[in-house]
Chain A
Amino acid sequence: MKDALDENMPRKAWLGLMAKAKTGRVGALLDGAMTRPDFTWLRVPEIGSTMVQGRAGATGAPFNLGEMTVTRCALTLATGEVGHAYIQGRNKDDAEAVAMMDALMQTENAATLQVQVLDVLAQEQADRRAARAGKAAATKVDFFTMVRGED
């Protein structure tokens, strides 16, 4: 079971990374890296929702918080690899690009795409996150104690 889990880790990581990419970014980077191969749809892009759950008191019993929009699709390359996409929002082009990337990452193109697409996305996300964290840090309160009067 543990092996099966570990085996899925890279795919889990790249799908999660691409789901959080800015609109149009995965497709743009993919097209910059290579020409997209032919494919057939297993499931054409479809817009739907996911019910997001929270936990009472952050750690307790789950409850339904509300839905978010999600677009999903699945395709297969002529060489047989299957790619899936489940991404936040309502952008069918993005979903197609993610599913294409997911399939291509199972081919000999993986190394190139890792560098030219995934590493770039990861860096962009890290930069965005760091920029926000830096602004938050600037609003962190530094307490200092006034000299007390009773001495």
Chain B
Amino acid sequence: MYVAVKGGEQAIENAHAWLAEERRGDTSIDELSIAQIREQLALAVNRVMAEGSLYDPDLAALAIKQSRGDLIEAIFLIRAYRTTLPRFGASAPVDTGRMACDRRISATFKDLPGGQILGPTFDYTHRLLDFQLAANGETPTARTRETTPVDVPHVAEFLNREGLIQEEPRDDRTPPDLTREPLAMPAERALRLQALTRSDEGFTLGMAYSTQRGYGRNHAFVGELRIGAVPVEMDIPELGFAIEIGEVTLTECETVNQFTGSKTEPPQFTRGYGLVFGQTERKAISMALVDRALRWEELGEDNEGAPAQDAEFVLYHADNIQATGFLEHIKLPHYVDFQSELELIRKLRRDAGADAQMEAAE
């Protein structure tokens, strides 16, 4: 039952004013600019773009500032903004084979065409706090090496030539879109991939980790991980042809998984796929592992009852905005609901008390 009550307007207004003051913090400290967040907290910006499902670094930086660094709140702001935008259309599927790679590594092949490119990675850092960053240091500079552009083919293509890996047959159907139609089960792979690419990083990481620990075991190698910019091309009806409308940085992870074959498939390697906005490699690897686990049915594998194999469980709990919306609503006024619960408990206690008295009397 809902009962409309009024009150608290002034308190709410004052709470917002205090929030704004707290957001600004100590005014003797310089205020953060959007550009500073965009440039110097780039990985937070990338996460907000990926899970907010909107590629726009300036908007993500603004959301991080507004949310005081609460990234789920920032993602919420981006999702809300996204719904106000008219949709001009869909791009052609991006060609990650054309990626200008900042990073490209393979854990399966040492010597691969295009080479192992480490890029600006935290790997091999010692994870010791760097107190030089706390002092105002000098401007760091990257080293460079003369290079000529080379093709950087996907690792899966080498295995494909020998027929050792399950193929990804091209098709050009219009994919389902969970921003237009609510997520429904059973979810085909295209829908699962859309849900996973915008899913919460922590949840997806936990699910992926569970597969590594043996829940729905599918031993994964990172066949390839690449990060870099790809052009985005879209058909423009007014022009009658497609043009490049911009460029996005993506992280792509392809896993290669052992597969001993099933009733429908010969023994071969299978694949899991992760593709995420921005430099977001933990998320992309996690996505690939979870994608692979969810494919058990189409590959004719056994359902071991592992959480990561349960599409309904994974996909309905992976979205942090849905999750936080439902979770946080319970802190909002439930006075009337609670009043009825209170009545019920009092009645039960009264009844129990009456019974006890009767027993004592007997």
- Specify which chain A residues have a CB less than 8 angstroms from the CB of B156 in the assembled complex: 57-59
Cα distance A89–B38 in the bound complex, in angstroms: 14
Contact residues, B62-105 vs A (CB, 8 A): 82, 85-94, 96-97, 100-103
Cα distance A60–B145 in the bound complex, in angstroms: 35
Cα distance A53–B90 in the bound complex, in angstroms: 7
B164-196 Cβ-contact flags toward A at 8 Å (1 or 0): 000011111111111100000000011101100
* Chain B CB within 8 A of A36 CB: no
* Chain A CB within 8 A of B53 CB: yes
Interface residue stretch chosen among A5-13, A26-34, A112-120: A5-13
Known A86-B236, A138-B143; contact A69-B85, beta-carbon cutoff 8 A: yes
Contact residues, A84-119 vs B (CB, 8 A): 84, 86-90
* Chain B CB within 8 A of A24 CB: no
Give chain B nearest CB distance to A73 CB in angstroms. Answer: 11
- Specify which chain B residues have a CB less than 8 angstroms from the CB of A67 in the assembled complex: 53-55, 82, 85, 87, 179
* Chain B CB within 8 A of A134 CB: yes
* Chain A CB within 8 A of B268 CB: no
Judged by DSSP, the binding face of B is mixed
Interface residues on B, range: 35 or more
Cα distance A55–B238 in the bound complex, in angstroms: 26
- Specify which chain B residues have a CB less than 8 angstroms from the CB of A44 in the assembled complex: none
Cα distance A12–B235 in the bound complex, in angstroms: 11
Contact status A15-B243, CB under 8 Å: yes
Cα distance A68–B234 in the bound complex, in angstroms: 12
- Specify which chain A residues have a CB less than 8 angstroms from the CB of B147 in the assembled complex: 133-134, 136-137
* Chain A CB within 8 A of B361 CB: no
**Neighbour of A52 across the interface among B85, B232, B239, CB < 8 A:** B232
Cα distance A56–B193 in the bound complex, in angstroms: 8
Q: Considering the complex, give the chain B residue whose CB is closest to the CB of A61.
A: B171
Contact status B168-A84, CB under 8 Å: no
Interface residues on A, range: 35 or more
Contact status A70-B88, CB under 8 Å: yes
Contact status A52-B243, CB under 8 Å: no
Contact status B243-A137, CB under 8 Å: no
Contact status A57-B241, CB under 8 Å: no
* Chain A CB within 8 A of B119 CB: yes
Contact status B168-A136, CB under 8 Å: no
B interface residues with partner A (beta carbon < 8 Å): 49-50, 53-56, 58-59, 82, 85-94, 96-97, 100-103, 110-111, 115-121, 142-147, 149, 154, 156, 168-179, 189-191, 193-194, 197-198, 231-234, 236, 238-248, 250, 252, 254, 271, 273, 275, 277
* Known A66-B49, A67-B53; 16 more pairs at CB < 8 Å: A50-B90, A55-B168, A57-B271, A59-B156, A61-B170, A62-B93, A62-B174, A65-B194, A89-B58, A90-B56, A135-B120, A136-B103, A137-B117, A137-B146, A139-B117, A141-B117
- Give 8 closest A-B pairs by Cβ, nearest first: A88-B246, A60-B168, A57-B168, A16-B244, A134-B144, A137-B147, A68-B55, A63-B190
**Could you give 22 example pairs across A and B, Cβ below 8 Å?**
A16-B244, A16-B245, A19-B246, A51-B89, A51-B91, A51-B179, A55-B168, A58-B96, A58-B273, A59-B170, A62-B190, A63-B190, A64-B177, A65-B194, A67-B87, A68-B248, A90-B56, A135-B143, A138-B145, A139-B121, A141-B117, A141-B118
